[in-house]
C-alpha cells in the first residue's frame, strides 16, 4: 500500500511534491486550481516540468488530482453544467501534463429531480471526459456520503453510471472511508466491509478501485452527512485499521484529506502505516479462525 496526503500547491504545483516528500509519503493528491473558483490556473510549463522531475526524484508512485468542489454535471442549470465540464476538462489536461495517475471528482447532485434523470444528463459529458484519459490516467468517481440529492451514495449508483458508460476501461472509483460510513457502510466491521467490497466486486469489479481517501468521521453511521474528522480522532477511531488492512486494498494509494499542510508531519504517515499493519493482523487472525472452523 502507498501512503500520502492531499497537500497544497501554493507557490507552484511542483511544491506539492516537495511537501509530500518532506513528510515521507509516496502518494499525493493536489488541486490543479482553486477548489472554490471556476477559473482554471495557468501553470508555467517550467513548473509542470519540475513537477515531473521532482516526482521521479522523490519516488512518488501515485499522483491524484482532485477536481474542484463546484462541479455538478447533473445540475438543472445549463451554465453550471458547462462550467463543470470545462473545469473537469482543465483538470484532466493538467493531470496529463504532470503525469498524474487519477483525476477524482464528485458527480454532483440531481437536486431533487431523481437519480435516473441525472444519469441521462451526466453520460454525455462523462463520455467526452473519458476521451482525455490515457493508459496511465484514469477518471475516478468518488463515493458520496448521501446528503440531499448527491449522486454516488451507493455502489449501485456508481455501477449504474459505469454501465451507462458501457463499462469504460479507464473509469475508476475512489473510496472515501468517511463517506462510506456516512452512507451506511460500517467500514470498522470486517463482516460489513467484506460484504460491501463483495458487492463492489460483483457490480463494478475491484480492478476499478484506484484510490482511497482516509478520513475519520464526526457523524454517526448512516447519517448521510459529509463531516470529515482527523484520523483516529473521530467515530471510526482505531476501527480505521480494519479499513486500511483489508487485503483488497493492499496495492492502493491511501491519502489523508483532513490535515492542513501546517500540521502534516512524518508522524501522520507513520500513523497510516501503523493502522495498516494493525488491520492486516486482524484480517490474518480472522482468516486463520475461518480455516480452523
Give the range among 51-60, 180-189, 260-269, 279-288 with minimum mean pLDDT.
260-269
pLDDT in tens, 178-188: 999 999 999 99
Are 98 and 64 within 8 A, CB to CB? no
pLDDT at 264: 87
What pLDDT does residue 285 have? 86
Q: Cα separation of 269 and 134, whole Å? A: 30
Q: Total structural domains in the chain? A: 1
**Averaged pLDDT for residues 169-175:** 98
Confidence of residue 135 (pLDDT cuts 50, 70, 90): very high
pLDDT (mean) for 280-290: 84
The pLDDT, as a whole number, for residue 128 is: 98
CA geometry: angle 102, 103, 106, nearest 5 deg: 135
pLDDT tens digits, 189-234: 999 999 999 999 999 999 999 999 999 999 999 999 999 999 999 9
Confidence of residue 287 (pLDDT cuts 50, 70, 90): confident
Does residue 127 register a pLDDT over 90? yes
Among 117-126, 169-178, 186-195, 255-264, the least confident range? 255-264
Q: Contact at 8 Å (CB) between 240 and 198?
A: no
The CATH number of whichever domain residue 74 belongs to comes to 3.20.20.150
Range(s) of the domain holding residue 165: 2-292
pLDDT score of 260 = 62
> Measured between alpha carbons, how far is 97 from 110 in angstroms, rounded to an integer?
32
Looking at residue 274, its pLDDT comes to 97
DSSP the chain: -EEEEE---TT-TTHHHHHHHHTT-SEEEEESS-TT-SSPP---HHHHHHHHHHHHHHT--EEEEEPPTT--TT-S-HHHHHHHHHHHHHHHHHHHHHT-SEEEE---B-TTS-HHHHHHHHHHHHHHHHTT--SS-EEEEEP----TTBS--SHHHHHHHHHHTTT-TTEEEEEEHHHHHHTT--TT-HHHHHHHHHHHHHHT-GGGEEEEEE-EESS-TT-----EE-TTSSSSGGGHHHHHH-GGGTTSEEEE-S--GGG--HHHHHHHHHHHHHHHHHHHHHHHHHHH-
112-121 mean pLDDT: 91
Q: How confident is the model at residue 112 (pLDDT cuts 50, 70, 90)?
A: confident
How many whole angstroms separate alpha carbon 269 and alpha carbon 273? 6
Q: Is the pTM higher than 0.85? A: yes
Q: Mean pLDDT over residues 34-40, rounded?
A: 90
CA nearest neighbour of 209 among 156, 251, 239, 240: 251
pLDDT at 101: 98
Cβ neighbors of 290 (< 8 A, separation 6 or more) are none
Query: What pLDDT does residue 258 have?
Result: 79
pLDDT for position 292 = 75
Amino acid at each position: 500500500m502507498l501512503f500520502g496526503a492531499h497537500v497544497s500547491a501554493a507557490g507552484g504545483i511542483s511544491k506539492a511534491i516537495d511537501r509530500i516528500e518532506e513528510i515521507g509519503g509516496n502518494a499525493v493528491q493536489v488541486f490543479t486550481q482553486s477548489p472554490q473558483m471556476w477559473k482554471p490556473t495557468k501553470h508555467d510549463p517550467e513548473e509542470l516540468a519540475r513537477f515531473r522531475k521532482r516526482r521521479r526524484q522523490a519516488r512518488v508512485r501515485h499522483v491524484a488530482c482532485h477536481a474542484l468542489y463546484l462541479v455538478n454535471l447533473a445540475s438543472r442549470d445549463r451554465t453550471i453544467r458547462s462550467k463543470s465540464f470545462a473545469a473537469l476538462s482543465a483538470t484532466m489536461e493538467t493531470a496529463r501534463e504532470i503525469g498524474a495517475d487519477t483525476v477524482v471528482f464528485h458527480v454532483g447532485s440531481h437536486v431533487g429531480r431523481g437519480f435516473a434523470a441525472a444519469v441521462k444528463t451526466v453520460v454525455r459529458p462523462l463520455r467526452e471526459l473519458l476521451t482525455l484519459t490515457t493508459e496511465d490516467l484514469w477518471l475516478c468517481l468518488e463515493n458520496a456520503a448521501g446528503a440531499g440529492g448527491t449522486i454516488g451514495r451507493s455502489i449501485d449508483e456508481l455501477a449504474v453510471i459505469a454501465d451507462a458508460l458501457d463499462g469504460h476501461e479507464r473509469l475508476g472509483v475512489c473510496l472515501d472511508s468517511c463517506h462510506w460510513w456516512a452512507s451506511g457502510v460500517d467500514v470498522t466491521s470486517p463482516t460489513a466491509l467484506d460484504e460491501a467490497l463483495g458487492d463492489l466486486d460483483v457490480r463494478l469489479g475491484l480492478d476499478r478501485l484506484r484510490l482511497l481517501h482516509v478520513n475519520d468521521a464526526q457523524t454517526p453511521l448512516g447519517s448521510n452527512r459529509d463531516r470529515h474528522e482527523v484520523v483516529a480522532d473521530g467515530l471510526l477511531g482505531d476501527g480505521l485499521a480494519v479499513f486500511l488492512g483489508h487485503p483488497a486494498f493492499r496495492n492502493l494509494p491511501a491519502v489523508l484529506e483532513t490535515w492542513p499542510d501546517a500540521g502534516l508531519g512524518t508522524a501522520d504517515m507513520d500513523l497510516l502505516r501503523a493502522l495498516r499493519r494493525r488491520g492486516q493482523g486482524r484480517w490474518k487472525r480472522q482468516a486463520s479462525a475461518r480455516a480452523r472452523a
